[in-house]
Chain A
Amino acid sequence: MRQSQTNLDFEYRFGFSMPQNYVFKAQKGLSREIVEQISYFKGEPHWMLQFRLKAYDIFLKKTVPTWGADLSKINFADIYYYIKPTKEQVSSWSDLPKEIKETYDRIGVPEAEKKFLAGVSAQYESEVVYESISRELNKQGVIFCDMDTGLRKYPEIVKEYFGTLIPPTDNKFAALNSAVWSGGSFVYVPKGVHVNLPLQAYFRINSERFGQFERTLIIAEEGSYVHYVEGCTAPIYTSESLHAAVVEIFVKKNARVRYTTVQNWSTNVYNLVTKRARADQAAIMEWVDCNIGSRVTMKYPSVYLYGEGARGEVLSIAFAGKNQHQDAGAKMLHFAPNTSSRIISKSISKAGGRTSYRGLVQVFPGAKNSKVYVSCDALILDKASRSDTYPSMRIKENETAIQHEATVEKLGDEKLFYLTSRGIKKPDAESLLVNGFIDPVAREIPLEYSIELNRLINLEMSGSVG
């Protein structure tokens, strides 16, 4: 553990950017014309253009939410809404342009791939340029591609599900994404198929004042299983960046989907993501959500428990350092009997950072014998930092078991003394305690990501004063 701390690649943390060499670069700002242009360049079916334009109108009408983190600094006119990095998509690693490969080398995509990736969908700018799907996945009938390809090759499936769980009317940023979306992943797992290795996608913002609006759609048919992993890193720029993604997941009867995110956007990024899953009868949906980076994150992965016996879970970690506000949480909606949900949230604030847990659990009439478990723990590392909890429960059914626990902890002198009295230096002792605090969630993350998370925490902690 200590070793990884001393071997940290600082460049990785502070970001890097490659010279830009784009085929097409849209102008800044958003207009009806730009939305039309995006759809035109992508060669989309007419219904998608209509969907985008309708969403654009909704985006204009909706106001920026003021109930959460401060979003007043976002200047929508100062953002590029679409950039197409290379002319054609490439199918193998060696065909990738050199500078893009260099960027990926630094994140470590090839190594990761060698190890145990079933398929990589790596996003550079707003379009997926590299994608490889293993023969195994093809054989099983699993579709794993970027959303644009998904729309082109499987328009019927996309049309059936796209925007039905998160309509553009949901919120301003979902509307924005619906109007200008580009990239993201499309995953379809046929009935009874278990995808044994996690599907991973790497994301990257690499252009100043450029927002990324990827759109992900996952459909897991009856009795199937898939684990999707999303990890993000971004170079640091001085001006604001916006990341407004939408993720929709359909978990059919007896199916199970796990969606893991390790988010480490640079601290100028507004990360405003709408994630929602629908769980049918006896289906299981698990969100594992780690937010380390970004200036502001507002994200509340939700599960709509529609089918009897469905189960939803959100395990989350949020880390807020200087000038960061992580406003994260979860939403669980129980519509059917015997449904259960579990929310475990761990947040850490340091050096003036702010974390907020915002959660909603709703049990609708008739959702008898529902079980709800909510546990949110906050760790505050110094006096300048802040943590708030906004748990909301609306229970309209009497036969329900509800459990709610919340703790706020300060990194205690006693625990630090205990560890330092064993000869461990104070910053190392702090890292040990912070990593211990998040351990119940961190252990749910695939190994390579939990190692990365551990490194990030150690690095954040080693910068701590006092």
Chain B
Amino acid sequence: MLTVKNLDVKVGRKEILSDFSFDFQKGKIYAIMGPNGSGKSTLAYALSGHPLYKITKGEIFLKGKNITDETADKRANAGIFLSFQNPLSLGGVRAYQLLQMAMEKKKSALETRELADKFAQELKISSDLLKRSLNEGASGGEKKKMEVLQAAVLNKDLQIFDEVDTGVDVDALKTIANFLHKHKNGKTYIVITHYNRILHYLKPDEVLIMINGKLKKVGNARLAEKIEKEGYAAITDES
């Protein structure tokens, strides 16, 4: 699905990610864990094509196609979705509008609207949120749910969730995780997280540990449990 080769990423002059390589396979769930500042979000931004995250070395292939130099909208249309760690508020831009514009060529405005309403119900958020300016005056949990809702409507093959479990209460976490589980349908998930709890619902096929901008270790679900018990020191000590 997604092959990353020897990726170096700079923000300004600072190199944040170095020599990241990994092969994400179709239909699997990946968890990416690591301490703050280890480069997890940078990886997510670089994969999605954020213009301020410069790829100075390496290549990204999505379904065999080199997308290293593509703009964010082209990558999205090729099949990548990013759920933001800190979803932005967009004054005067309604979620319906955003989704309708993004789905323009695939679904009618009405179909998009109905789909969004259905998912809002599943996520236990009021469809009023879809009519208002995106995320304005919304709670932390509502914002994350709106990201997940967008993921489901846009329905991309590769979905990256950057700390979708941060800032949400236990019930909301359960709702989000069950929703993602229900709508997985053969898609590839990359779940960036600090905590193991979301991984109880979304069993990862592989767990990637990042430290200081590097991919340090790859393991199975048990690795996440170990991290939760012992912290990242266990891993840094190993190397």
Q: A residues engaging B (CB < 8 A)?
A: 1-2, 413-415, 417-426, 428-429, 432-433, 435-440
Contact status B92-A417, CB under 8 Å: no
B68 to chain A, nearest CB (A): 16
Complex contacts, A435 vs chain B, CB 8 Å: 92-93
A380 to chain B, nearest CB (A): 15
With A417-B51, A418-B88, A421-B82 in contact, is A432–B98 under 8 Å at CB? yes
With A436-B92, A437-B92 in contact, is A2–B50 under 8 Å at CB? no
- Distance of A436 Cα from B98 Cα, bound (Å): 11
- Distance of A231 Cα from B90 Cα, bound (Å): 29
Contact status A422-B90, CB under 8 Å: no
- Distance of A415 Cα from B50 Cα, bound (Å): 11
Q: Tell me if B218 is interfacial: C-beta within 8 Å of chain A.
A: no
With A1-B97, A413-B52, A424-B101 in contact, is A439–B91 under 8 Å at CB? yes
Complex contacts, B98 vs chain A, CB 8 Å: 419, 422, 424, 432
Enumerate the 5 nearest inter-chain pairs by beta-carbon distance, A residue then B residue, closest first.
Answer: A436-B92, A439-B92, A423-B76, A436-B93, A420-B72
- Size band of the interface chain B makes with A: 20 to 34
Question: Which interface residue of A415, A417, A428, A440 has the most chain B CB atoms within 10 A?
Answer: A417
Q: Tell me if B126 is interfacial: C-beta within 8 Å of chain A.
A: no
A311 to chain B, nearest CB (A): 25
Q: Tell me if B84 is interfacial: C-beta within 8 Å of chain A.
A: yes
Given A420-B72, A432-B101, 13 more contacts at CB 8 Å?
A: A417-B49, A417-B72, A418-B87, A420-B73, A421-B82, A422-B150, A423-B154, A424-B73, A425-B73, A435-B92, A435-B93, A436-B133, A438-B92
Q: Tell me if B77 is interfacial: C-beta within 8 Å of chain A.
A: yes
Name the residue of chain B whose CB is nearest to the CB of A440: B92
Q: Tell me if B71 is interfacial: C-beta within 8 Å of chain A.
A: yes
With A2-B101, A413-B51 in contact, is A423–B92 under 8 Å at CB? no
Name the residue of chain B whose CB is nearest to the CB of A409: B91
Q: Tell me if B102 is interfacial: C-beta within 8 Å of chain A.
A: yes
- Distance of A423 Cα from B92 Cα, bound (Å): 19
- Distance of A418 Cα from B196 Cα, bound (Å): 27
- Distance of A38 Cα from B161 Cα, bound (Å): 72
Q: Tell me if B169 is interfacial: C-beta within 8 Å of chain A.
A: no
- Distance of A432 Cα from B154 Cα, bound (Å): 18
With A2-B104, A436-B90, A436-B133 in contact, is A426–B73 under 8 Å at CB? yes
Name the residue of chain B whose CB is nearest to the CB of A429: B73
A-B contact pairs, 30 of them (CB 8 A): A1-B97, A413-B51, A414-B88, A418-B84, A418-B87, A418-B88, A419-B93, A420-B49, A420-B73, A420-B76, A421-B48, A421-B75, A421-B76, A421-B80, A421-B81, A421-B82, A422-B73, A422-B81, A422-B99, A423-B76, A423-B102, A426-B71, A429-B73, A432-B98, A432-B101, A435-B92, A436-B91, A436-B92, A439-B133, A440-B92
Contact status B91-A437, CB under 8 Å: yes
Name the residue of chain B whose CB is nearest to the CB of A428: B101
A350 to chain B, nearest CB (A): 17
With A420-B72, A422-B102, A425-B73 in contact, is A415–B51 under 8 Å at CB? no
